[in-house]
Amino acid sequence: MTPLFLAHGSAEFWSDQTVNGLTTGSIYALVALGYTMVYGILQLINFAHGEVFMVGAFAGYGVLVALGGEDISGVMVLVAIILALAAAGAASAVTAATIERVAYRPLRNAPRLAPLISAIGVSIFLSHLVDDGFLDGKSKFYPQIFPTGDLSAGPLSISYLQLFLIGSSLVMMAGLYWVVQRTRTGKAIRAVSESRENAALMGIDVDRMIVATFVLGAIMAGFGGVLYGLFLSSIRGSMGFLPGVKAFTAAVLGGIGSIPGAVVGGFFLGLTESVGRELLNEIPGVNLPNEWKDVVAFALLVVVLIFRPTGIFRQRETKRA
């Protein structure tokens, strides 16, 4: 929480900014994973990934409303959120697999610009379909069922919701890492992202692994969508755009194609928007209110790309989708 009366520069103030940065950063990181994995395997920037995230948010919303909305309480809150996450992961996975089949696979051997344009088309189509087709331009609001309250220790303070967001996203990312590093599907995905030809020779069905990559990234994005809804409450068809671009930025910052890079990039971007911006405010004569966070974030992207075009993690060493 960021109470406005906190003195700028106090320990509480910086601790709050850090927690806020980590919270948004965890959502960026979850979404960034899908960008980086798909890039790693297809060298395609899946611009429709923000909409996959949006679909997840709505699926989770549907489950929470069906289970009683604001009336959910007690232990049912936990059950409802787990069900919402599961539904979101599934809905996002189906959406991403369908997009891959319909919009990308037919263009597999086309010039690289073609699937990129196709991706942008899918992105616009989905966000408008939901906004104008189903919602008539209105927003939906996530039931506020998460227990409120803070956990404090000295100057450190974190709300239960923020703790849940950061903690659960770390667990999900660890799970993804385990899948990619340890399971045979993960090995096959890494093999395909190193060399499609070679993987096919080993008997791997390349198309199937490409779908698996989309699905894994989409599950993370779906989870991210629910966490976003729980945290910011309001969801819309176009909600995926800005977090999508931010997550893409995070993936580039970390070194696109690299899974650890996406996670580090996500948290780094989140912290830049809060702590980084406030650090700039320490400079006399500078005053960047919260609305400037996007400006700071994208300025950072430009600077990083100038000085370190391959991102924080170098591509060659970490290209392992």
Residue 203 in the binding site for other proteins (CB under 8 A): yes
Instruction: Pick the piece of the chain touching other proteins (CB under 8 A) from 129-137, 147-155, 209-217, 303-311.
Output: 209-217
Q: Residue 197, interface with other proteins (CB under 8 A)?
A: yes
Q: CA angle, corner 259, sides to 253 and 264, nearest 5?
A: 45
Token pair in block for residue 262: 């996406």
Binding other proteins by CB under 8 A: which of 129, 174, 201, 286?
201
Task: Give the nearer residue to other proteins in terms of CB position, either 64 or 191.
Answer: 191
10, 139, 152, 198: which one contacts other proteins (CB under 8 A)?
Answer: 198
Taking CB under 8 A as the binding criterion, the range among 114-122, 162-170, 182-190, 301-309 that sits at the site for other proteins is 182-190
Nearer to other proteins by C-beta: 2 or 183?
183
185: contact with other proteins by CB under 8 A:
yes
**Applying CB under 8 A, which of residues 112, 138, 208, 314 lies at the interface with other proteins?**
208
Size of the site for other proteins (CB under 8 A): 29
User: Under rule CB under 8 A, which residues in 59-118 are in contact with other proteins?
Assistant: 101
- Residue ranges of the alpha helices (H) in the chain? 11-42, 49-66, 75-99, 113-128, 160-182, 184-194, 196-201, 206-232, 241-254, 259-271, 277-281, 293-307, 315-318
Q: Residue-wise over 147-183: b if at least 16 C-beta within 10 A, else e?
A: eeeeeeeeeebbbebbebbbebbbebbeebeeebeee
Residue 191 binds other proteins (CB under 8 A): yes
Task: Work out the widest C-alpha separation in the chain, in whole angstroms.
Answer: 64
Residue 85, Cβ density class (10 Å: 0-12 exposed, 13-18 middle, ≥19 buried): buried
255 touches other proteins by CB under 8 A? no
Instruction: Report the C-alpha gap between 91 and 1 in whole angstroms.
Output: 31
Chain residues binding other proteins by CB under 8 A are: 101, 179, 183-188, 190-191, 194-195, 197-206, 208, 211-212, 215, 317, 319-320
